[in-house]
A and B are shown apart, each in its own frame.
Chain A
Amino acid sequence: MKSGSNLEKILKAGHFAFTGEVGPPRGANVEALREKVSYLKGNVDMANITDNQTAMVRMSSWAASMICMQEGVEPNFQMVCRDRNRLAMQADILGAYAHGIRNMLCLSGDHQQFGDHPQSKGVFDLDSMQLIGMVKKMRDEGKFLGGADIDVPPQIFIGAAANPFAEPFEWRVHRLAKKVAAGADFIQTQCVFNMGRIRDWVSQANDMGLTDKIAILPGITPMKSVGMAKYMKNKVPGMDVPDEIIKRLQGVDKKKVADEGIKIACEQIEEFKEMKGVAGVHLMAIEWEHKVPEIAERAGVLPRPEV
């Protein structure tokens, strides 16, 4: 065991992992956060706690991760390269580990221009690949990036993101290979809507032997409305929403669109359960946390195994 986290144990035992996501509040509203987390309790193996997502200031991800833990859900502490230099990153990793955090997701972070402080200085001292390598060095070598010994190294299960949909497509699997080489233990992908693309990408990863070394959890986001689908297709960078998805949502009664969105998500999860090289799924029910119990139920991933 690298970290002994619940997610690591689930994957090691060969269970199909099911992870969720919670965005910390835009303020110190602890009750709102506890409520969001409560919908995930018992329904997911671990919840990602986002780090100033879309470059908007929120409660810090490590602090919200601790509250998540208090509520009985294992957190996945997200860390972006935008807001911290290598000193602050290592300090927060030690602090988070000291408080019991065992999973991390290492990300570049959305550009600061998208958020509520577009004038800010983006740090990007390290990139996500280098952050992964740094956490691995801290864990496996017990050394800081600068080379000095760590007095009690942090045992972190290292996560990374992947976008299987961006161009050039043939480069995507090589980028995954780089993250494996850097030391990632698991991958959570960009929201999947184009199943053809991800089938090809996972099959390439299988052929390169990558899926033996890393657990891949495709990202699932149920569409709440036709407007959301169109927004994600046209406005969100890196998103690949095929027209069939929009047509399918448009084809049902207006009151049933959200239900159809969940149906599509469940169909995707069913396919991933059978897909060689896929170890689970990551559910990003954006501002829809209260639907997680229903989605988990309908996706047939309950009860979550105790490990």
Chain B
Amino acid sequence: MIVAERKPFDEIKNMVSGYKKVLTVGCGTCVAVCLAGGSKEVETLNAELNLAFGKDKIEFGAETVERQCDMEFLEELDSKVDEYDALVSMACGAGIQFLAERFPNKPVFPAVNTSFIGVNLDVGWYEEKCRACGTCVLGLTGGICPVTMCAKSLFNGPCGGTNQKSCEIDKEQPCAWYKIHERLAGQGRLDQIIEISPPNDWSNQKPRKIIQPGYEERVKALGR
């Protein structure tokens, strides 16, 4: 899932000050699971904002849609946003942008910082796992991502700073390449990393679009 964390309260407060009626929009998918921007967090944020501004100064509304990264769900807001003069989105960066695209005449402010693609280690505890580099090498590296888990994203690691199973940047951070070696050794697959990995194709350096096979005609018909 996409993991986000709420922005510092004062930053959000500064963005909305000066508006009269603000709609806080939550997202019911990734950011709800990681406890950053679901309906519960919308309630909490609005309660804090009400306390800070006083109800007569700014009126805060609350709506949470299933996914802000999907126009089908944003449509639900069409009849509701007119009465507001600004929107606050608690979705990830993709959701925030899609909300702003749906309502181009309304100022849209982000209430979260989108952090990473990660996993749930425990309630409220998440770890980054993928940088969406676009050229997955997990098949070679024992299912451990060197782009994400190595602080230098080395494809032929470890570097000289590998430190008793840890990364040079932090003793608490495991060396990705130590882990990769350990896992491949356990599987008898060390031959996988004997070969030199060639320079990567960093396809994440430009805005990307994907059309799945079979959907080309449909996209063409949409004219977008």
- Point out residues on A near B: beta carbons under 8 Å: 81-82, 86, 107-111, 113-114, 122, 124-130, 133-134, 145, 161-163, 166-168, 171, 174-175, 177-178, 181-182, 190, 237-238
Contacts and interface: CB of A to CB of B under 8 A. Distances in A.
A125 B185 CA distance: 27
16 contacts: A109-B152, A110-B168, A111-B161, A111-B169, A124-B152, A124-B154, A125-B200, A125-B202, A129-B155, A166-B163, A174-B190, A174-B194, A177-B194, A178-B156, A237-B162, A238-B163
B104 interface: no
Contacts of B156: 127-130, 178
Contacts of A126: 199
Given A113-B169, A133-B196, A178-B196, A127 B162 contact: no
A109 B168 CA distance: 11
A161 B199 contact: no
Which are the 10 A-B pairs with shortest beta-carbon distances? A129-B156, A237-B168, A237-B163, A108-B159, A237-B161, A127-B154, A163-B160, A130-B199, A166-B162, A124-B152
A243 to B, nearest CB: 16
A190 B160 contact: yes
Nearest to B152: A124
B162 A238 contact: yes
A168 B178 contact: yes
Contacts of A167: 162, 164-165, 178
A166 B185 CA distance: 16
B153 to A, nearest CB: 5
Given A81-B152, A82-B152, A108-B152, A145 B160 contact: no
B223 interface: no
Contacts of B153: 124, 127
Interface residues of B, number: 29
Interface string B139-176: 00000000000011111111111111100110000000
A187 to B, nearest CB: 12
A127 B163 contact: no
B67 interface: no
Given A113-B169, A166-B163, A238-B168, A127 B152 contact: yes
Interface secondary structure of B, over-half rule? loop
B198 interface: yes
Nearest to A174: B194
Contacts of B181: 168, 171
Contacts of B196: 129-130, 133, 178, 181-182
A134 B156 CA distance: 14
Contacts of B160: 107-108, 161-163, 166, 190, 238
Contacts of A108: 152, 154, 159-161
B202 to A, nearest CB: 7
Given A108-B159, A111-B161, A237-B168, 9 more contacts: A81-B152, A110-B168, A111-B169, A124-B152, A124-B153, A127-B153, A145-B199, A177-B194, A178-B196
A111 B175 CA distance: 13
A165 to B, nearest CB: 10
Contacts of B158: 166, 175
